[in-house]
Amino acid sequence: MSSPTRPHTGTAEGGRQGSPGPDPAAPAPEPSADPGPPPAAPASAVDPVKSLMLIHYDLCADAVDPLEIAAGLEARGVTERTARAYRHRDVFALAEEMYARVPHTEDHAAAELHAPPATPRARGPRALARLFLLPLPAVLAAAGLAAWPHTAGRPRLALAAATGIAVLLALRACLRRGPLGSRFPAAPGTVAYVLLLLAAALYGEGLISQAISGGPDGSWAPRTAPLLALLASLVPAAACVRAFRRGAGRRLGSSRSLDDFAAAVWPLLLALFALYLCTLWGLLGVSAATLHQATGLLSAGSLGALLLLARLMVQHGRAEAARAALLIACAGQFLALASLFASRLPGAAALATPVERLTALGGTGAVPALACSLAVLTLLVRTVPALSRASAHAKAAAETPGAPR
Residue 27 has, within 13 A of its CA and on its CB side, a CA count of: 3
CA nearest neighbour of 358 among 316, 288, 299, 317: 299
Write out the E strands in 270-403. Answer: none
Q: Are residues 354 and 300 in the same domain?
A: yes
Q: Determine, yes or no, domain membership for 235.
A: yes
Q: Are residues 259 and 306 in the same domain?
A: yes
Q: Determine, yes or no, domain membership for 296.
A: yes
Ranking 31-45, 60-74, 207-221, 243-257 by mean pLDDT, the lowest is 31-45
Q: Determine, yes or no, domain membership for 5.
A: no
Q: Are residues 242 and 293 in the same domain?
A: yes
Q: Are residues 359 and 300 in the same domain?
A: yes
* Whether pLDDT at 45 is above 70: no
Query: Which position has the higher pLDDT, 294 or 325?
Result: 325
Ranking 55-64, 101-110, 142-151 by mean pLDDT, the lowest is 101-110
Q: Are residues 231 and 160 in the same domain?
A: no
CA nearest neighbour of 325 among 343, 344, 312, 336: 312
Q: Are residues 62 and 192 in the same domain?
A: no
Let me know how long the chain is. Answer: 405
Q: What is the rounded distance in angstroms from the CA atom of residue 344 to the CA atom of residue 210?
A: 13
**Burial class of residue 8, CB neighbours in 10 A (0-12, 13-18, 19+):** exposed
Q: Domains in the chain: how many in total?
A: 3
Query: Which position has the higher pLDDT, 252 or 261?
Result: 261
Q: Determine, yes or no, domain membership for 297.
A: yes
Q: With left for phi above 0 and alpha for psi between -120 and 50, is residue 317 left, alpha or beta? A: left
DSSP state at residue 35: -
pLDDT of amino acid 387: 87
pLDDT of amino acid 212: 86
User: Could you give the residue ranges of the DSSP H alpha helices within 26-85?
Assistant: 43-46, 48-55, 57-62, 66-75, 80-85
Q: Are residues 357 and 259 in the same domain?
A: yes
Identity of the highest mean pLDDT range in 14-18, 132-136, 258-262: 132-136
Q: What is the rounded distance in angstroms from the CA atom of residue 371 to the CA atom of residue 331?
A: 8
pLDDT of amino acid 83: 72
Q: What is the rounded distance in angstroms from the CA atom of residue 94 to the CA atom of residue 255?
A: 16
Of the three residues 176, 204, 233, the one that is the final residue of a domain is 176
Q: Determine, yes or no, domain membership for 372.
A: yes
User: Could you give the residue ranges of the DSSP H alpha helices within 13-56?
Assistant: 14-18, 43-46, 48-55
Q: List Cβ neighbours of 270 (8 Å cut-off, separation of 6 or more).
A: 384
* Whether pLDDT at 328 is above 90: yes
Q: What is the rounded distance in angstroms from the CA atom of residue 79 to the CA atom of residue 205?
A: 47
Q: What is the rounded distance in angstroms from the CA atom of residue 90 to the CA atom of residue 307?
A: 35
Q: Determine, yes or no, domain membership for 335.
A: yes
Q: Are residues 209 and 167 in the same domain?
A: no
Q: Determine, yes or no, domain membership for 389.
A: yes
Q: What is the rounded distance in angstroms from the CA atom of residue 248 to the CA atom of residue 390?
A: 9
Query: Which position has the higher pLDDT, 215 or 364?
Result: 364
Kindly list the distances between the CA atom of residue 196 and the CA atoms of 153, 253, 368, in Å, as whole numbers in the listed order: 26, 41, 12
pLDDT of amino acid 116: 45
pLDDT average, residue stretch 155-167: 91
Q: Are residues 355 and 235 in the same domain?
A: yes
pLDDT average, residue stretch 278-296: 89
Q: Determine, yes or no, domain membership for 117.
A: no
pLDDT of amino acid 260: 77
Domain that holds residue 309: 183-397
pLDDT of amino acid 184: 84
- Asked whether 333 and 367 are in contact (CB, 8 A), the reply is yes
Q: Are residues 231 and 380 in the same domain?
A: yes
Q: With left for phi above 0 and alpha for psi between -120 and 50, is residue 2 left, alpha or beta? A: beta
pLDDT of amino acid 163: 92
Tally of CB atoms within 10 A around 313: 27
Q: Are residues 67 and 214 in the same domain?
A: no
Tally of CB atoms within 10 A around 59: 21
Phi, psi of 402 (to 5 degrees): 105, 150
Confidence of residue 394 (pLDDT cuts 50, 70, 90): low
Buried b (16+ CB within 10 A) or exposed e, 106-123: eeeeeeeeeeeeeeeeee
Q: Are residues 221 and 339 in the same domain?
A: yes
